[in-house]
Amino acid sequence: MLKRFGGLIFGLSQASHTSTPHLQAATMASQAPSGKELCTVANGCFWGTEHMFAKHYGSKVDSMKVGYCGGKESSTSPSYREVCSGTTGHAEALQITFDPSKVSYEELVTFHFRMHDPTTLNRQGGDRGTQYRSAVYTHSDEQAKTAEKVKADVQAKHWKGKTVVTEITPAGPWWDAEDYHQKYLHNNPGGYECPAHRFRPSRAIDSSPHKTTSCQQICPLRQTQQPTAVTASKPRHRLELGQATMAAEEGEKMATDKPEEEELPQEILDASADEIATRMRLIDNDIKVMRSEQGRLRHTQKEMQLKLADNFDKIKNNKQLPYLVANVVELLEINPDGDEENDGANVDLDSTVKGKCAVVKTSTRQTIFLPLVGLVDPNKLKPSDLVGVQKDSYLILDTLPSEYDSRVKAMEVDEKPTEAYTDIGGLDKQIEELVEAIVMPMKSAEKFKALGIKAPKGCLMYGPPGTGKTLLARACAAQADAFFLKLAGPSLVQMFIGDGAKLVRDAFELAKEKAPAIIFIDELDAIGTKRFDSEKSGDREVQRTMLELLNQLDGFGSDDRIKVIAATNRIDILDPALLRSGRLDRKIEFPLPTEEARARILEIHSRKMSLSNRINFEELARSTDEMNGAQLKAVCVEAGMIALREGATALNHEHYLSGILEVQSRKKNDQFYFA
């Protein structure tokens, strides 16, 4: 039985005995007594393995013995020197006899995996053989399954990134070690701590890297098997639970002599304890000041490094030469292998060009022929492209983004409007027609392709002022996931010839680049009036702008991904070419709201107001005959102002009636919207 010695240190109360020499004529088969089981493991020199198991399981197991296992079948009765030389292939192993009711086989195997590095084939590289390999020798199929399970758990939890190489194989012939090895732990209660065995209860406690070393380096007498008085007199170096000291560091500590102590200066020897304490406090204060100064200098250094990096970037950018802006006029394909005859005698054969060449026109109005295009792939260039050229050789160095009129860029709607279709009252039919003509072709283009029909290119919204044309366009921009460009008809009328047409052309080019896109042209009647004979240059310029709009709507360069929404109050004066099918296909009329629509509009504009419970919007709608949506909104605003003057906390029915009278007093009795 195992017995505890001195707290954590264990020894064998009775040593195992093996005849010397131990060579036998037959294989020594290990068999457990009745009701007991065997656990055979190998993970380094068996002195260290036996000591660690005795240290932590001495009171739970029945007996332990060291020996050799896992060697060649032809090698019988191996000696220690044969095992160390690697001629027999055996491993130094420990065989434990235990009672399964006191300790489980899984617990012993788990301890075996945690007390060494199972990812290293040979943890003590100073030896020629593999007797220090990691192995578990099983005595039944159940033990084999348990060992594989523990190995998988250890691999997953503690050795991520490395491979556990522990050998799990059925136990073969077992050969007891010589008497000296069997009696070692009995004769040395302090035990032998092999530096390769560092107990690891968990990877979190001990995460330092392994360092392979040899028992021969730590204890040279290990290989001679002959203890001497000098060896016995040296103190044993032990590792405590969870300690992460590496083997090489321990070997250096044992081999290095203790350095000589420095002699203290005479002034310190002559000083009193109070003087030394005062001097220590002064030194501590100096250290604090220096640390504070060090932190300040580090902060200053970091700021200077940021400034330095910024200056380097500026210098790098300033080293780049500016480009000369040019436009590609034409791309030419030149074939030098043609049979063209040279008309002149002075022909430079080295100047023959081949492949694609380019003709560019610079911003200085120079037209240049480039036999060699430059750094840009000529196949990606096309006429009218904007490029940057070298100002001396005119070689194309880079392509530039397309140039658009700044006034067109200003018409881009960056922030989507917040209006929704629910904010519009009395226009359900108009909303449905607009969604079918504009939104549906963008979101469900495959449905149109399946039916083989062509979606409308645009729609024209017409009707009296204040009926919600622009409001519906804003709601469409908010709901459609598309680029939105808002043009005002009067802004397209320019003083210089061709300027208005260029604005229209640039607007459609920008929309084509960012397609799908919606172009909203408000007050279309400013440029879309019927053509007539006029000697005034201003009228002719307006007509040229309209002709460019007609060309963009239904010309050779039209794009189905661009939808146009136009709004006007005077559809009667528009040019018939604008109204024909194929350009503005869908015409949506916006009449004055009905009584039901007026009640709905009043409710929408009163949603955020503080109202009393006795407001009858149907009665108010009957009192607002022939009012448009804008005037109904003005009624709500006037009602709020009247309540504000009276100091009321909520609007009532009388406030709305007063607001209606206020708006009607400003309304002309006769309004004619059409000529």
Q: Alpha-carbon distance 299 to 282, whole Å?
A: 26
Tell me which H or E stretch contains 461.
Answer: strand 458-462
Give me the residues paired with residue 563 across strands.
518
- The better pLDDT of the pair 620, 74 is held by 620
Q: How confident is residue 457, by pLDDT bands cut at 50, 70 and 90? A: confident
Q: Alpha-carbon distance 21 to 349, whole Å?
A: 99
What pLDDT shows up at residue 210? 38
- The answer to whether the CB of 616 falls within 8 A of the CB of 653 is yes
- The better pLDDT of the pair 416, 373 is held by 373
Please state which of the ranges 104-113, 214-223, 294-303, 404-413 shows the lowest mean pLDDT: 214-223
Instruction: Cite the DSSP H helix spans in 91-242.
Output: 105-114, 141-158, 179-182, 184-187, 215-218, 229-233
What pLDDT shows up at residue 306? 94
What pLDDT shows up at residue 668? 57
- What is the SS3 assignment for 28? coil
- The answer to whether the CB of 221 falls within 8 A of the CB of 227 is yes
What pLDDT shows up at residue 307? 94
Q: Alpha-carbon distance 598 to 656, whole Å?
A: 13
Per-residue pLDDT, averaged over 132-141, amounts to: 90
**CA pseudo-torsion sign 452, 455, 456, 457:** negative
What pLDDT shows up at residue 534? 67
Q: Alpha-carbon distance 585 to 554, whole Å?
A: 11
What pLDDT shows up at residue 237? 39
**CA pseudo-torsion sign 425, 428, 432, 434:** negative
pLDDT of residue 172 exceeding 80, the answer is yes
Per-residue pLDDT, averaged over 585-605, amounts to: 87
Q: How confident is residue 496, by pLDDT bands cut at 50, 70 and 90? A: confident
pLDDT of residue 452 exceeding 70, the answer is yes
Q: Find the distance separating the first CA and the last CA of the chain, reported in whole Å.
A: 122
Q: How confident is residue 675, by pLDDT bands cut at 50, 70 and 90? A: very low
What pLDDT shows up at residue 244? 35
- The better pLDDT of the pair 334, 195 is held by 334
Which strands, in side-by-side order, build the sheet including 396-399?
367-370, 355-362, 324-334, 386-389, 396-399
Per-residue pLDDT, averaged over 425-429, amounts to: 85
Query: Which residues, other chains included, contact 85 with Cβ-Cβ below 8 Å and sequence gap of 6+?
Result: 128, 129
Nearest to 184 by CA among 174, 196, 193, 195: 193
HEC string for 184-215: HHHHCCCCCCCCCCCCCCCCCCCCCCCCCCCH
Nearest to 49 by CA among 21, 68, 76: 68
Tell me which H or E stretch contains 387.
Answer: strand 386-389
- Within 10 angstroms of residue 512's Cβ, the number of other Cβ atoms is 16
What pLDDT shows up at residue 211? 38
Class for domain 407-589, per CATH?
alpha beta
Q: How confident is residue 606, by pLDDT bands cut at 50, 70 and 90? A: confident
From residue 574, alpha-carbon distances to 277, 280, 588 in Å are: 102, 98, 15
What pLDDT shows up at residue 128? 58
Q: Alpha-carbon distance 108 to 62, whole Å?
A: 13
Q: Alpha-carbon distance 553 to 482, whole Å?
A: 18
Q: Beta 586-589 vs 458-462: how paired, if at all?
A: parallel
- What is the SS3 assignment for 303? helix
Using only C-alpha atoms, what is the Rg of the chain?
49
Q: How open is the CA angle 261-263-269, to the nearest 5 degrees?
A: 130
> Six-digit token pair at 204?
């979190």
Nearest to 93 by CA among 26, 145, 139, 35: 139
What pLDDT shows up at residue 105? 93
- The better pLDDT of the pair 501, 144 is held by 144
> Six-digit token pair at 586?
């869908």
What pLDDT shows up at residue 137? 92
DSSP state of 529: B
pLDDT tens digits along 13-41: 444 444 434 444 334 556 788 889 999 99
φ/ψ of 616, rounded to 5, equals: -105, 100
pLDDT tens digits along 240-279: 333 333 444 454 455 455 555 667 788 888 888 888 889 8
Tell the burial category of 405 from Cβ atoms under 10 Å away from its Cβ (0-12, 13-18, 19+): middle
Per-residue pLDDT, averaged over 461-470, amounts to: 87
Tell me which H or E stretch contains 308.
Answer: helix 273-319
Q: Alpha-carbon distance 659 to 646, whole Å?
A: 13
Per-residue pLDDT, averaged over 319-326, amounts to: 79
DSSP state of 435: I
Per-residue pLDDT, averaged over 289-298, amounts to: 93
Per-residue pLDDT, averaged over 135-154, amounts to: 92
Residue whose token pair is 């005698």: 345
- The answer to whether the CB of 458 falls within 8 A of the CB of 564 is yes
Per-residue pLDDT, averaged over 189-198, amounts to: 56
DSSP state of 583: T
Q: How confident is residue 353, by pLDDT bands cut at 50, 70 and 90? A: low
pLDDT of residue 163 exceeding 80, the answer is yes
Please state which of the ranges 42-46, 167-171, 324-328 shows the lowest mean pLDDT: 42-46
pLDDT of residue 520 exceeding 80, the answer is yes
From residue 218, alpha-carbon distances to 126, 153, 251 in Å are: 10, 32, 6
Nearest to 655 by CA among 643, 668, 673, 666: 643
- Within 10 angstroms of residue 224's Cβ, the number of other Cβ atoms is 11
| Fold annotation for 595-666 | Helicase, Ruva Protein; domain 3 (1.10.8)
- The better pLDDT of the pair 535, 634 is held by 634
pLDDT of residue 572 exceeding 90, the answer is no
Q: Which amino acid is at 247?
A: A
Query: Which residues, other chains included, contact 446 with Cβ-Cβ below 8 Å and sequence gap of 6+?
Result: none
pLDDT of residue 361 exceeding 60, the answer is yes
Which strands, in side-by-side order, build the sheet including 175-176?
167-170, 135-138, 37-42, 91-98, 61-69, 175-176
Q: Which amino acid is at 522?
A: D
Instruction: Cite the DSSP H helix spans in 320-455.
Output: 406-410, 428-434, 440-443, 445-451
Is the CATH number 3.40.920.10 carried by domain 2-9+32-250? no
Ranges of each domain in the chain: 2-9+32-250, 268-318, 407-589, 595-666
